[in-house]
Amino acid sequence: MRKKNLLPAITGMAVALAFCSAAHAEDKPRIPAGFFRLSAVARLPGASPDWDYLGYDTKREHLFIARRDDGLWVFDTRRSRLLARMPRSKGAGAALILPELGRGYSTNEDGSTTMFDLATLKVLRRAKFAEDADAASFEPVTGRIAFVSADSQQVSFVDPRSLKLVGKVKLDTKKADASAADGQGNILLNERDRDMIVRIDAASAKVTAEWPVTGCSQPTGMAVDTARHRAFIGCRSAKPVLAVMNIDTGRVVQTLDIGHGNDGVTYDAARHRIITTNGIDANIVIIHQDDADHYHFEQAITTRPEARTMAYDSKNQRIFTVTAEGVVNPAEKINTGPSKFYPNAYYDGSFVVLTYAAR
């Protein structure tokens, strides 16, 4: 039997396959330069973890992780390893870093703060100013720290050097959340249960304005563009949005979609970016600022569930967030506020630091 010449058929098949591959390559979505991606994962030791806000020391590239009962942990982002556990910081729920003073401050749940030296990480003093505390922000005009006490419904103003209480103001809200300085001597504060933003004069410790966050419910995360007088407010509504507010008038100028479970919002002034971390949808959503009143969606990155708080390294364009492997045990109390199946327990040894860097 005479053999058929198969070369034309093989050649034709190869051409067809090459054409399909080229077409598939053309159809494949392109990832532009400048998008963020996961660059490092570091697992930290410890029993079933708990955590809240993060702080960052740009000069030394140290990430401060508030581990509540385990205190404040210091993570070396250069070497991607745990550097220290801050003594006398039990109950830490946040870390405020003030490089201009060379000092850092933990916000402890018993209404105290632990002051430490940023260079040596030596604890300088622990002082009590209220019955409870959740987070803090620094007001540079008066040089005062504003500590938020949600349970006590107050904001305490503390001198950062002496740690003396220099003023306090009572709040109407039962769920005070994130705060930020406006660059004009005021502290702006989210009132999550009232869907309001309150403005507090740091010098007099008096409320000077209250504004509804139109189009937003459960305002949680906050950052401020002090140059353009705009606040960026992360909202945990059924339709989660970032609300942009004119802080001279209290008018919301635009809302943009973000992920569910927002807790972290930061502003990169150099690149005109607002970065949001959203733990329920497990994503980081980034909004670009075109001008004071115009914004557009820039990019989103998938993360891991419950990665809700963050710190940002503007110099090296790195986003830090943390999370752990959680479970929902129906035999234990479940917090259904954030979501129906919000974890009520986490596995020992599952706590991780995630670093996302611009490509």
CA 74/CA 123 separation, integer angstroms? 13
Q: Alpha-carbon distance 80 to 87, whole Å?
A: 21
pTM: 0.92
- Quote the pLDDT of residue 181: 98
The pLDDT value given to residue 118: 98
Measured at the CA of 131, the angle between CA 128 and CA 137, to 5 degrees, comes to 65
Average pLDDT over residues 273-293: 98
Amino acid at 104: G
Res 8 pLDDT > 60:
no
pLDDT for res 48: 84
E-assigned strand segments in 90-164: 92-98, 103-108, 112-117, 123-128, 135-139, 144-149, 154-158
Residue closest to 265 by CA, chosen among 202, 304, 298, 219: 219
pLDDT at 28: 81
> Which pLDDT score is estimated for 27?
77
For position 150, what pLDDT does the model report? 96
Residue with the two structure tokens 């710190």: 311
- Contacts of 193 by beta carbon, 8 Å cutoff, 6+ apart: 173, 174, 175, 218
> Would you say residue 251 lies in a domain?
yes
State the total domains in the chain. 1
The answer to whether position 306 is within a domain reads yes
% of residues, the chain, pLDDT over 70: 93
Q: What's the confidence (pLDDT) of residue 47?
A: 87
Q: Give 291-340 pLDDT, tens digit per residue.
A: 999 999 999 999 999 999 999 999 999 999 999 999 999 999 999 988 99
Tokens in use for 326?
Answer: 């959680």
Closest CA to 242 of 267, 268, 219: 219
- What residues pair up with 353 in beta bridges, in sequence order? 42, 322
* First-to-last C-alpha distance (Å) of the chain: 61
Q: How confident is the model at residue 229 (pLDDT cuts 50, 70, 90)?
A: very high
Which pLDDT tens digit goes with each residue over 127-151? Answer: 999 999 999 999 999 999 999 999 9
Section 284-296 average pLDDT: 98
Q: Is residue 6 part of a domain?
A: no
User: How would residue 111 be classed by pLDDT, with cut points 50, 70 and 90?
Assistant: very high
Q: What b-and-e string marks burial along 89-103, b requiring 16 or more CB atoms within 10 Å of the CB?
A: bbbbbbbbbbeeeeb
Collect all residues with Cβ–Cβ distance below 8 Å to 305 and sequence separation of at least 6: 279, 280, 282, 323, 326
Instruction: Give the model confidence (pLDDT) of 162-187 as tens digits.
Output: 999 999 999 999 999 999 999 999 99
User: Residue 24's pLDDT band (boundaries 50, 70, 90)?
Assistant: low
Q: How much is the pLDDT for 74?
A: 98
Per-residue pLDDT band for 21 (boundaries 50, 70, 90) equals low
The domain that holds 227 is classified in CATH as 2.130.10.10
Answer whether residue 2 shows pLDDT above 70.
no
Query: pLDDT exceeding 90 applies to what percent of the chain?
Result: 88
Query: How far is residue 303's CA from residue 282's CA, in Å, rounded to a whole number?
Result: 5
For residues 261 and 280, what is the distance between their CA atoms, to the nearest angstrom?
5
Cβ-Cβ contacts under 8 Å for 143 (sequence gap 6 or more): 159, 160
> How many C-beta atoms lie closer than 10 Å to residue 279's C-beta?
25
Residues in the chain: 359
Segment 250-268 mean pLDDT: 98
How many CB atoms neighbour CB 26 within 10 A? Answer: 8
Q: Identify the band that residue 341 occupies on the pLDDT scale cut at 50, 70 and 90.
A: very high
pLDDT above 80 (res 242): yes
Residue 202 lies in a domain: yes
Residue 5: per-residue pLDDT: 57
236, pLDDT greater than 60:
yes
Q: Is 8 inside a domain boundary?
A: no
In-domain check, residue 222:
yes
Let me know if residue 22 belongs to a domain: no
Q: Please, what is the average pLDDT of the chain?
A: 93
Q: Are 284 and 36 in contact (CB under 8 A)?
A: yes
DSSP-derived 3-state class of residue 16: helix
Task: Encode 38-82 in three state secondary structure.
Answer: EEEEEECCCCCCCCCCEEEECCCCEEEEECECCCEEEEECCCCEE
pLDDT digits (tens, 9 = 90+) for 190-213: 999 999 999 999 999 999 999 999
Cα distance between residue 327 and residue 234, in whole Å: 26
Residue 143 lies in a domain: yes
Domain housing 337: 33-358
Task: Quote the tokens at residue 212.
Answer: 């509804």
CB 190 within 8 A of CB 176: yes
Place of tokens 């419910």: 217
d(CA 158, CA 174): 22
- Other CB atoms within 10 A of residue 324 CB: 24
Question: Could you tell me the two tokens for 70?
Answer: 């385990």
